Amino acid sequence: MRNNTWQENLPLDYFLLVVVLSIPFWLIGGSKLPLPINLPASAVTTFVPAIAAGILTYRRSGKMGVKEFLKKAVDFKKVKNKLWYLPALFLAPAIYLASYGVMRLTGLPLPDPIIIPPLMVPAFFIMFLIGDTGEELGWSGYALDPMQKRWGAVKAGLILGAFWAIYHSVTFVQTRHPASWIVWQCIKTVGMRMVLVWIYNKTGKSVAATNLYHVTDNVSAFLFPNYGSHYSPMVTGILTGVVALVVFGWGRALKSPQRHGEHKVLEARRG
């Protein structure tokens, strides 16, 4: 009974704790970090989802539970089919490349000259690998499974994505982006969470593999011409949303014949 109650109350308890722990950082973290990219000091809240999950895990399962929880950060062994590393590593860069192409074709503003610093790739990758692990341990490694059990993958992804977008909107405001930018970025964030849920499920529920997509998305965003200065959340958000619709639609299409076949087998057995 205790486990069932926890499963039902987890999302609300977890989300509330994440918000409470983030408030001090939001209040004192409006200044820009000393980096060539536009990130406020409150970006350190990237570790809060994992901290909140660790606290709740400790209350439920003690030190051993926390130890097992932290192991999810490197659970690459769950990925049985290594081909799933392709979308985990290269789907986000492909979306951003397509976004750049759309902006070129439609005449949207792009910088001149265009600067894409390749030497920053490993630096950004390491930085975001550390930070995004703090997020994915919480969102994917702790909150997602109970939510999927209760609502299924699509609804869980939408709910978690909506919370994630609202949660990040504080930092979006602190980076002094206009309202239209923030709205489109929130839409992109929901679409991205849907893709992350898809990768998580397809990789045997690997947090580490899911995190790779998160990392490559952030690296791509800030490598976008001139350290992301001309990144368009509208274009990237629409493309990410299309990808989310395709991968979930494709998954359902693959399942439907199987279910239909299973239905025929059951009918034959009954006959």
What is the pLDDT of the chain when averaged over all its residues?
89
Give me the amino acid identity at 195: V
d(CA 198, CA 189): 14
Q: What does the pLDDT read at residue 28?
A: 86
Q: Residues 124-175: pLDDT tens digits? A: 999 999 999 999 999 999 999 999 999 999 999 999 999 999 999 999 999 9
Q: Which domain holds residue 225?
A: 2-270
d(CA 54, CA 62): 10
Give the three-class secondary structure for 177.
Answer: coil
d(CA 10, CA 2): 12
Helix residue ranges per DSSP H, the chain: 2-28, 48-71, 85-106, 120-138, 145-174, 179-202, 207-223, 225-228, 233-270
Q: Give yes or no for a contact between 200 and 152, defined as CB atoms under 8 angstroms apart.
A: no
Tell me how many domains the chain contains. 1
Strand partners, 70: none
Give the three-class secondary structure for 224.
Answer: coil
CA distances 217 to 139, 186, 213, 270, 271, Å, are 16, 15, 6, 50, 52
Q: Residues 36-91: pLDDT tens digits? A: 888 899 999 999 999 999 999 999 999 999 999 999 999 999 999 999 999 999 99
Task: Look at the pTM and tell me if it is higher than 0.85.
Answer: yes
CA distances 206 to 11, 85, 132, 237, Å, are 20, 11, 14, 25
Q: What does the pLDDT read at residue 225?
A: 87
Q: Which of 97, 118, 100 is nearest to 110 (CA)?
A: 100
Angle, to 10 degrees, between the axis of helix 85-106 and the axis of helix 233-270? 130
Q: Which of 251, 53, 80 is nearest to 154 (CA)?
A: 251
- Does position 7 have pLDDT exceeding 80, yes or no? no
